[in-house]
Structure 1
Amino acid sequence: MVESQELRCERLQLFYQVVRVIVIQKTLNMLSSFAKLKQLLKRFFSIFFFFC
């Protein structure tokens, strides 16, 4: 079965949209994890310096 150029182009665009959404989700998850880690370190160091 031979695909038309137009159908191939549409599939490629859909693929790129899916990849873009996945990349955005992963980036947001990393930023969220980084923010949580930053908050945890902030709490740890504030407690640590409180006892010093």
Structure 2
Amino acid sequence: MSLAHALVLRRIADHPGADAASISAALRWPLVVVEQLLSDLEQQGMIAPPTRH
């Protein structure tokens, strides 16, 4: 796991309702980067896929 993955996980832990856009804004990273990191974490089983309502 990279430092970037760890930072995204930390943001999710601190803000459970965070989505890709809010994580992107908080970390000041491009949305596409955060989306890829979230996808990687999901594939590794580190986070659950987002729920759709």
TM-score by length of structure 2 reads 0.34
Considering Cα pairs closer than 8 Å and 6+ residues apart, tell me whether 1 or 2 has the greater RCO. 2
